[in-house]
Structure 1
Amino acid sequence: MGSKVKGANEGVVGILPLARPTFDVGFAEERLEAMLAVLDRVGWQIAGPRSLLFDAEATRAAIADLQARQPAHILILQVTFTDAAMTSEAAKAFDQALSIWAIPEPRKGGRLRLNSFCGLNLAAHALGLVGRDFGYLYADPAAPDIDDNLAELLSGRRRALPIATRAATGDDPRGVAAARSLKGVRIARIGRHPDGFDTCAYDPGRIADLADVHVDELELAAMFDGGRGADAAEVAALRATASGRLAKLDAVDQEQLDRSLRLKLALDGIRRAGGYDAFAIRCWPETFTEYGGAVCGPVAMLGEAKTPCACEADVYGALSSLLLQRVADAPAFLTDLVDLDGEDDTGVVWHCGQAPLSMADPDFAAEATIHTNRKMPLLYQFPLKPGRVTFFRISQARGETVAVIGGGEMLKRPMAFTGTSGVVRFDTPAKDMLDRVMGAALEHHMALAYGDHRDALGAAAKTLGIPVLDL
């Protein structure tokens, strides 16, 4: 993998251990120590910092130090979730072979302590967009075959290889009608996507050419001001409705809950005034740091009412959810893939707490909770109900517009992580799913709906004139 770089020190691996302080720092430090112990044990000469890099300044300094050392291979240790900004800078700084090692965490029903897989996902997408060759590994440092897996990674035998697409086929009338119904759709993007989230970027002209979709770019102030000015009686009525549907509503901070519920009313007002069909919302950090309440619960409420909302200002995520919703005639949930377990042959789909309530496992009392990193309500909490599910994304991965279509069975399992999550057995084996997601360099958001809608989505893709990438 990669060509030899003149002056590079053979046998030297340069490491960049990336992390964010909003995750479980103590656990991340433990996991980093385990990763370093493996690298030391197998005998590679390691250059670079042996502590977590939490910010751009520290990471840039580490990159500069490694440039002086000229290692033969750059290994990014994706210890927790991070955006792709520093991975992109490393890719530009080095011509050497580049790899990423991310690590799983136990599915114990608690907070997503690392979210390492999602960081790998964002990094892969960013590298795919610029055509940068890279290797990847998603493995526990305690796995019995970790030495062999790392040897394969650093010798170039675990590369991300592009995945072939196919021509879209089918004439299912649901898919044809749903695709045609996108003409004239209006999406409100509220705030811009976070830095380093290339997965959520969009080109207004390109999305208009695809389906005659119009996007209005609004400021976060429109939502915040609408929330602050919401009618107190309407807020009280919304709280009463939520109280009848969610346990533990009284257990969260009530002032923050009030501010959160007001965002639902603000979004209702924006939707009516602009005639919007969907939202793409910058959901953090300003909703917490400037406004003082989460938009996640309101997003779940709107999704249940069939106004899909994509977090992190993901415009294509909003469009994907809207198309899937219209095909399924049911709510859609824009979710992250946060784990793949080859031995169990399952994955976990999750988002912090914004799945529509109709997706809750009926044997679990859906409850109110707080954001695990930002510690504010309102978020929903429950495991997803068992049943057949379909995944869909209008993707811009590797610079091409394709329809990503997949299916699976949501299993009846205990809650994997706090918020709204589900354990799914994809139609594709989990080990192969990892290779497909990395090889295609997909975005980290996928729309999910219950039922099998793959044929109808194929017809929708054909109507839109885009190829299909099968998950």
Structure 2
Amino acid sequence: MITNIPKVKIGIIAVSRDCFPVRLSSMRRAAVAAQCVQRKLDVYEAGTVVENEKDMLAAVDEAAKAGCNALAVFLGNFGPETPETLIAQYFDGPCMFAAAAEGDGDLVDGRGDAYCGLLNCSYNLGMRRLKGHIPPYPVGTAADIVGMIAEFIPIARAVIGVRNLKIITFGPRPQDFFACNAPIKGLYELGVEIEENSELDLLVSFKAHAGDKRIPEVCADMEKEMGEGKYYADLNERMAQFELTLLDWAESHKGSRRFVAFADKCWPAFPSQFGFVPCYVNSRLTSRGIPVACEVDIYGALSEYIGACVTEDAVTLLDINNSVPKSQFENEIAGKFSYRLTDTFMGFHCGNTPSCKMKPDRAVKYQLIQHRTLEPEGSAPDFTRGTLEGDIAAGPITFYRLQCDSEGTLRAYIAEGEVLPVGTQSFGGIGIFAIPEMGRFYRHVLIEKRYPHHGAVAFAHCGKTLYDVFRYLGIGDISSNQPRALPYPTENPFA
């Protein structure tokens, strides 16, 4: 169950230009509110119609007292340019702006000109450097406006979550895995707080949780989740101790923030000192909306958290890892799915994907690569156990990432695709991914713009919402996988 994300309550505030009938705005607002009730959306209809700045202050105060943390500013008619845009300045939360279409047949006393008014609204938002979400076609009937509000809710949830998030890290990046290291300047620009700690801090806290009375309950929950024979019974107590360590750290270190994500160093020192690898525990927290990103990937943790807010579902973080062998593609994919070999790749990580997003035969196993390097050759796996391995379940996905580059510039990518129902014949938490024109996207976005190897995965097609979230957060460079007919700027036109 996802618990570490905001609950959104939308307030609807109608605005009215004083040379237009105020009844147009109040009447049209009431129609929108009635449609929201029918759609079972949790909204508050503010009684104050904003015609001037004092009305604006009163409406914002009314919405705040009603528990609203996001607003739909509704131009029932042309609207007053200054007061309506100041709503976004004075209200502590994301705002959407939309306008009423003409529709009652009276184009004399009943014409509101909101189509025109929204142009001035957008112009004023820009002059004041204020942010507001404006839907793709922001003019409509009451039913249309309610549809826009419904689409705005996950956008608002992500924006509120980011503004109230603290990312807690343990340890520096492992040597030769600096790719996901990035300036924290971008976090502050987004309003995200960060707390950086040593691995020793985590080890001290872990040892202090030895014998915690809650451990048996967590062990029982792990056994229930995995099923008999799919976990190491002798490891459960240690992993439960670690899970409680992270949860208690999150609760006691939130500070002024409401939500938490982790980015932890998970190797090479971790296994020998803690007695296991943390992948399975990381997956359990991530399934609750508390991402624990591998290898101190702070922007990976942030990306995962945004996906959890958007989908209200578990997410994961994977390496854009390896190509699909040509023989495997020809035997199991070609002719069955409408993809080329270069559209496919394998997304992999040691075992951090939540069990609810994997095939039923998943199990807690050992980390093969770390066993090779950290434990005696020929020995049975010991402290390298603790990964959650198996194939990722087939279905729609969105592969995406928000990143701060080495120059301190925030940028993002989004690509929709699917996990294919094809066995990987490999190890780790892994799946065969298919994204249209992935080969070109890989070269002209991921490589060209120097993205790291980690990508966040949401288990739904949510590119539209993610794009709007990134736009609201002020990300100017948002890339997507382009069709062949639309070349990338760096693509050789003669190739």
TM bin (shorter chain): 0.5 to 0.7
Q: Larger C-alpha radius of gyration, 1 or 2?
A: 2
Letter paired with 1:374: Q
Matching residue of 2:260: 277
Shift of 1:199: 2.4
Q: Summarize the Cα distance change of 1:421–1:170 in structure 2 as closer, same or farther, 3 Å threshold.
A: farther
Residue 320 of structure 1 is aligned with which of 295, 300, 303?
303
Cα contact 2:186–2:404 (8 A) shared by 1: no
Matching residue of 1:368: 364
Matching residue of 1:357: 355
1:452 and 2:432 aligned:
no
* Deviations, residues 239-285 of structure 1 (Å, cap 9, x unaligned): 2221222256576472x553333211110110111125100101111
Letter paired with 1:184: N
Cα contact 1:170–1:455 (8 A) shared by 2: no
Matching residue of 1:343: 341
1:329 and 2:312 aligned:
yes
Cα separation, 1, equivalents of 2:319 and 2:239 = 22
Q: Summarize the Cα distance change of 1:299–1:169 in structure 2 as closer, same or farther, 3 Å threshold.
A: farther
User: Does the residue aligned with 2:293 lie in a helix, a strand or coil?
Assistant: strand
Cα contact 2:168–2:262 (8 A) shared by 1: yes
Letter paired with 2:348: W
Output aligned runs, 1:291-306, within 5 Å.
291-306=274-289
Cα separation, 2, equivalents of 1:373 and 1:391 = 25
User: Does the residue aligned with 2:318 lie in a helix, a strand or coil?
Assistant: strand
Cα separation, 2, equivalents of 1:332 and 1:297 = 14
1:389 and 2:385 aligned:
no
CA RMSD of aligned residues (A): 2.3
Cα contact 1:176–1:456 (8 A) shared by 2: no
Cα contact 1:382–1:419 (8 A) shared by 2: yes
Cα separation, 2, equivalents of 1:285 and 1:193 = 10
Matching residue of 2:478: 468
Cα contact 2:445–2:479 (8 A) shared by 1: no
Cα contact 1:227–1:259 (8 A) shared by 2: no
Letter paired with 1:352: C
Cα separation, 1, equivalents of 2:368 and 2:354 = 19
Q: Summarize the Cα distance change of 1:303–1:405 in structure 2 as closer, same or farther, 3 Å threshold.
A: same
* Deviations, residues 220-249 of structure 1 (Å, cap 9, x unaligned): 123222322323542222222212222565
Residue 196 of structure 1 is aligned with which of 149, 169, 176?
176
Cα separation, 1, equivalents of 2:227 and 2:424 = 16
Shift of 1:344: 6.7
Residue 162 of structure 2 is aligned with which of 179, 182, 195?
182
Cα separation, 1, equivalents of 2:274 and 2:174 = 17
* Deviations, residues 77-123 of structure 1 (Å, cap 9, x unaligned): xxxxxxxxxxxxxxxxxxxxxxxxxxxxxxxxxxxxxxxxxxxxxxx
Letter paired with 2:250: R
* Deviations, residues 343-368 of structure 1 (Å, cap 9, x unaligned): 3741110110110111012xx32211
Cα contact 1:248–1:369 (8 A) shared by 2: no
Shift of 1:333: 0.2
Cα separation, 2, equivalents of 1:247 and 1:372 = 22
Q: Summarize the Cα distance change of 1:409–1:251 in structure 2 as closer, same or farther, 3 Å threshold.
A: closer
Cα contact 2:182–2:406 (8 A) shared by 1: no
Cα contact 1:371–1:379 (8 A) shared by 2: yes
Shift of 1:432: 4.9
Cα contact 1:317–1:446 (8 A) shared by 2: yes
Shift of 1:392: 1.5
Cα separation, 2, equivalents of 1:462 and 1:424 = 26
* Deviations, residues 438-465 of structure 1 (Å, cap 9, x unaligned): 2222111111011111111111111011
| Larger mean Cα displacement after TM superposition, 455-464 or 177-186 | 177-186
Cα separation, 2, equivalents of 1:193 and 1:251 = 29
Cα separation, 2, equivalents of 1:432 and 1:184 = 32
Q: Summarize the Cα distance change of 1:417–1:169 in structure 2 as closer, same or farther, 3 Å threshold.
A: farther
User: Does the residue aligned with 1:427 lie in a helix, a strand or coil?
Assistant: coil
Residue 441 of structure 1 is aligned with which of 450, 469, 479?
450
1:412 and 2:421 aligned:
yes
| Larger mean Cα displacement after TM superposition, 447-456 or 245-254 | 245-254
Letter paired with 1:468: I
Cα separation, 1, equivalents of 2:470 and 2:217 = 41
Cα separation, 2, equivalents of 1:177 and 1:251 = 35
Cα contact 1:334–1:445 (8 A) shared by 2: yes
1:290 and 2:298 aligned:
no
Shift of 1:395: 1.8
Point out which structure has higher relative CO (alpha carbons under 8 A, 6+ apart).
1
Cα separation, 1, equivalents of 2:425 and 2:457 = 17
User: Does the residue aligned with 1:378 lie in a helix, a strand or coil?
Assistant: strand
Cα separation, 2, equivalents of 1:169 and 1:459 = 9
Normalised to the residue count of structure 1, the TM-score between the two structures is 0.59
Cα separation, 1, equivalents of 2:229 and 2:276 = 14
Letter paired with 1:373: I
Cα separation, 2, equivalents of 1:351 and 1:225 = 27
Shift of 1:402: 0.7
Matching residue of 1:379: 387
Q: Summarize the Cα distance change of 1:194–1:270 in structure 2 as closer, same or farther, 3 Å threshold.
A: same
User: Does the residue aligned with 2:415 lie in a helix, a strand or coil?
Assistant: strand
Shift of 1:379: 1.4
Output aligned runs, 1:158-237, within 5 Å.
172-173=151-152, 174-209=154-189, 211-230=190-209, 231-237=211-217
Matching residue of 1:27: none
Normalised to the residue count of structure 2, the TM-score between the two structures is 0.57
Letter paired with 2:480: D
Output aligned runs, 1:77-92, within 5 Å.
none
Matching residue of 2:218: 238
Letter paired with 1:220: E
Paired residue total: 300
Q: Summarize the Cα distance change of 1:320–1:433 in structure 2 as closer, same or farther, 3 Å threshold.
A: same
Matching residue of 1:99: none
Where structure 2 has 5 or more consecutive residues not aligned to the other structure, the ranges are: 1-132, 137-150, 325-339, 372-383, 482-495
Shift of 1:423: 0.7
